[in-house]
Amino acid sequence: MCKLTEYLDKDQVTVYKVVAKKDDGYYSIAMGIKYKIGEYLPMSTEITQNPIGNHFSSDILSLQNYGFEYEMSGRTSGFKSLGDTYHLLQRIQISNNWSEPCNIRFIVVKIILSKDLMTGTYGKYEVIAGRMITKIVEI
C-alpha cells in the first residue's frame, strides 16, 4: 500500500492510475471494488477485499499485514508521473504472466481526485491519494 505522509492543501488533483476495466466500469485491482464517480470510497471496514489478478496480496486490509496503512482506508491513490504508472502496469502484467482475467483489461487512466487529499509514496514513486474520484479518462 501507499505510505501517506502529509495533507495536500488543494481541492482536487489529476493523477494517473492502473485499473481493471470491465464492461460495466473501472475497478480497483488491489481491492476489487468498482469505482463510482462522485461518491466517497468505502472505508476498509466496509468492504471485503477481492483483488483482481495476482499482483496484490489478498490480505492488504489485515492490521497485521506489513503493508497496511491506516491513512489509505477510504482512499485511492494515483501516481503523479505517467511513466511511474506504466511501470506499475508492466509489473502487474508480469505478475499475471502477461494474461488478463476473463473479460478484464488492465489499463492506465487519468483521474481527478478530491476530498482529504494526501501525498506520499508507493515504493519510491510519488503518489497522491483522495477519498473521491470525480472523473476517469482512459489514456
As a whole number, the mean pLDDT across the chain is: 90
What is the rounded CA–CA span in Å between residue 60 and residue 135?
26
- One DSSP character per residue, 90-128 reads HHHHHHTTT---TT-EEEEEEEEEESS-EEEEETTEEEE
Instruction: Grade residue 38 by pLDDT with cuts at 50, 70 and 90.
Output: very high
Q: Say if residue 67's pLDDT is above 70.
A: no
DSSP bridge partners of 120: 4, 127
32-41, 90-99, 118-127: range with lowest mean pLDDT: 90-99
Delimit the domains of the chain by residue range. Answer: 3-138
Q: Say if residue 54's pLDDT is above 90.
A: no
pLDDT at 94: 86
Instruction: Grade residue 25 by pLDDT with cuts at 50, 70 and 90.
Output: very high
What is the rounded CA–CA span in Å between residue 40 and residue 106?
23
% residues pLDDT > 70 (the chain): 90
Q: Which residue has the cell 477481492?
A: 50
- One DSSP character per residue, 2-59 reads -EEEEE---SEEEEEEEEEEETTEEE-TTT-PBP-TTSBPPPGGG-----SSSSS-TT
Q: Say if residue 49's pLDDT is above 90.
A: no
**Sequence letter at residue 116:** D
pLDDT at 74: 92
